[in-house]
């Protein structure tokens, strides 16, 4: 029996063992709502050629892992059986042909000009385009062009959904459309366009249901938590964090559970619930310790990991009044956040400046905050970052209204692109040792 050389070559190219391939296929199967039953024996059957055409869910999982069709991986569908040559009753044959004469044209005609069917390769291409948008967001943040591109991708996915070759393909295209729509919602959220974000999140949640995609569902609830904060609905922000915790993907993958717990911790800290915030942070850390950091996950989750959780910890600590610990956490986060996440690094730097400011280290805080503009040089500053810089400037003129460095920071630094409007000095809404007023977090999908 000949081995499957194409699959063997693909496995070697990606430096995967049989066990690792089984784990990745099972991961995709579970996310798609199937049981992850692929083991070493199944993989050996694929490699040896004993299994020439895996079951549809397994084929789709393999295609997702390798980014190409099952045929390119060396699998071949079984040949269709030829019709039986058993003799026919000439009368029955004559009656059938007579009856079919009037309908033959109507049966054949649609196939002659039928639109091309849509399959796995279309889903893969749309996913790859979505990954490119996420890379743009990592660098620049949410903006109108990104939102338009994401909505265009969602529209294309929905158009292809109507032409899907199978129900499973149509379901996957609903999922892709949901992810694109959630990306557009995130872009609006990062630009602090709350009305548009709310409309798009509702649409994304509907499409995630149609696609039976718990990952996008979790993403949407995560973004809802951020939107609730921006709108001043702090109890709803906690509720949205809990909704993210209850999605199916958080029960399957502790990596997602860690993000959901961290989001809830930020909500608790905004309400001043110190113990609840610390407890949620502990849950987030525990879950992340159980997660495999190398498993394949959607591109919008690429930002999350130990560095981001540390940055979120800094947000929580500063809001509950532990500014010295928040400063230390911000330094640790900035030492390990990858360089390509430029927007995230700029937001983490602003958080560091806030923690220093809340300790009354005015000169150092202003120097740190000024670095934000250097990090974002060449790109417009997203609305969420402008708002956070506005928080910083408001706190600055409240805590040190007569300091020369405070006046210089506002007149010399802000014109370089911040475009924020600070509150008046002495604003009674200021809580220097507690939660700053207007930003729930810096990271892309942990609103």
Q: How far apart are CA 99 and CA 307, in angstroms?
A: 72
Residue 395 contacts residue 430 (beta carbons within 8 Å): yes
Q: How far apart are CA 107 and CA 101, in angstroms?
A: 10
> How high is the pLDDT of residue 140?
64
Q: In Å, what is the CA distance from 233 to each residue of 230, 240, 265, 354?
A: 8, 11, 15, 23
Q: How far apart are CA 37 and CA 58, in angstroms?
A: 10
Q: Residue 164, SS3?
A: strand
> How high is the pLDDT of residue 142?
65
pTM (2 decimals)? 0.68
Phi, psi of 225 (to 5 degrees): -60, -40
Q: How far apart are CA 223 and CA 221, in angstroms?
A: 5
The structure tokens listed for 147 are 């939102």
Buried/exposed code over 402-425 (b: 16+ C-beta within 10 A; e: otherwise): eeeebeebbeebbeebbebebbee
Give the single-character DSSP code of 398.
Answer: H
Strand partners, 164: 118
Tell me which residue has tokens 């740190």: 368
> How high is the pLDDT of residue 362?
92
Phi, psi of 122 (to 5 degrees): -70, -40
> How high is the pLDDT of residue 447?
36
> How high is the pLDDT of residue 141?
63
Tell me which residue has tokens 């989001």: 263
Residue 130 contacts residue 180 (beta carbons within 8 Å): yes
Segment 12-19 long-range contacts (CB within 8 Å, at least 24 positions apart)? 14/66, 18/43, 18/44, 18/47, 19/43
Per-position pLDDT tens, the chain of length 447: 568 888 888 888 777 788 778 878 877 777 676 766 778 788 888 888 888 888 888 888 888 888 788 888 888 887 654 444 444 444 444 443 343 334 333 333 333 444 556 778 888 888 888 878 877 776 566 677 788 888 988 999 898 888 866 888 888 899 999 999 999 999 899 888 889 999 999 999 999 999 999 999 999 999 999 999 888 899 999 999 999 999 999 989 999 999 999 999 999 999 999 999 999 999 999 999 999 888 888 888 988 999 999 999 999 999 999 999 999 999 999 999 988 888 889 999 999 999 999 999 999 999 999 999 888 888 788 888 888 999 999 999 899 888 888 777 766 555 344 444 443 333 333 333 333 333 333 333 333
Candidates 190, 219, 442, 266; CA nearest to 341 is: 442
Tell me which residue has tokens 């798009």: 200
Q: Residue 192, SS3?
A: coil
Give the single-character DSSP code of 360.
Answer: T
Residue 159 contacts residue 365 (beta carbons within 8 Å): no
Q: Residue 402, SS3?
A: coil
Polymer length in residues for the chain: 447
The structure tokens listed for 88 are 């026919």
Q: Residue 437, SS3?
A: coil
User: Sign of torsion, CA 39 41 44 49?
Assistant: negative
Q: How far apart are CA 247 and CA 260, in angstroms?
A: 10
Tell me whether residue 396 is exposed, middle or buried, using C-beta atoms within 10 angstroms of its C-beta: 0 to 12, 13 to 18, 19 or more.
buried
> How high is the pLDDT of residue 229?
86
Q: How far apart are CA 280 and CA 238, in angstroms?
A: 11
> How high is the pLDDT of residue 80?
55
> Virtual CA dihedral for 136, 142, 146, 151, nearest 10 degrees?
130
> How high is the pLDDT of residue 96?
33
């Amino acid at each position: 029996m000949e081995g499957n050389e194409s699959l063997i070559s693909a496995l070697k190219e990606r430096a995967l063992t049989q066990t690792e391939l089984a784990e990745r296929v099972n991961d995709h199967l579970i996310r798609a709502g199937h049981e992850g039953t692929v083991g070493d024996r199944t993989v050996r059957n694929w490699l040896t050629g004993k299994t020439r055409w895996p079951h549809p869910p397994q084929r789709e999982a393999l295609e997702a892992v390798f980014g190409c069709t099952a045929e390119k991986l060396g699998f071949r569908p079984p040949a269709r059986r030829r019709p039986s040559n058993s003799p026919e009753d000439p009368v029955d044959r004559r009656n059938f042909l007579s009856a079919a004469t009037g309908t033959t044209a109507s049966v054949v005609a649609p196939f002659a000009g039928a639109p091309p069917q849509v399959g796995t390769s279309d889903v893969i291409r749309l996913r790859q385009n979505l990954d490119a948008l996420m890379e743009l967001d990592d660098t620049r943040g949410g903006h109108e062009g990104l939102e338009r591109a994401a909505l265009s991708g969602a529209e294309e996915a929905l158009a292809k959904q109507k032409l899907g070759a199978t129900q499973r393909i149509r379901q996957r295209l609903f999922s892709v459309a949901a992810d694109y729509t959630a990306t557009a919602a995130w872009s609006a959220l990062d630009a602090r366009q709350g009305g548009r974000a709310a409309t798009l999140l509702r649409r994304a949640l509907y499409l995630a249901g149609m696609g039976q995609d718990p990952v996008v569902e979790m993403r949407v609830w995560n973004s809802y938590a951020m939107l609730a904060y921006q709108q001043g609905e702090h109890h709803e922000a906690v509720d949205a964090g809990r909704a993210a915790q209850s999605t199916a993907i958080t029960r399957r993958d502790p990596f997602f559970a860690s993000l959901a717990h961290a989001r809830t911790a930020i909500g608790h800290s905004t309400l001043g619930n110190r113990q609840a915030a610390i407890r949620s942070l502990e849950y987030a850390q525990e879950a992340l310790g159980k997660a495999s950091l190398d498993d394949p996950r959607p591109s919008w989750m690429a930002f999350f990991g130990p560095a981001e959780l540390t940055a979120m910890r800094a947000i929580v600590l500063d809001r509950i009044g532990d500014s010295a610990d928040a400063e230390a956490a911000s330094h640790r986060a900035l030492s390990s956040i990858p360089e390509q996440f430029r927007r995230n690094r700029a937001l983490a730097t602003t958080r560091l400046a806030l923690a220093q400011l809340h300790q009354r280290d005015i000169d150092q805080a202003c120097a740190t905050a000024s670095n934000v503009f250097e990090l974002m040089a060449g790109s417009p500053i997203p609305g969420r970052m402008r708002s956070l810089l506005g928080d910083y400037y408001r706190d600055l003129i409240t805590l040190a209204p007569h300091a020369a460095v405070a006046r210089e920071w506002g007149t010399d630094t802000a014109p370089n692109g911040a475009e924020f409007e600070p509150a008046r000095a002495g604003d009674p809404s200021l809580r220097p040792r507690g939660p700053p007023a207007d930003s729930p977090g810096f990271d892309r999908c942990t609103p």
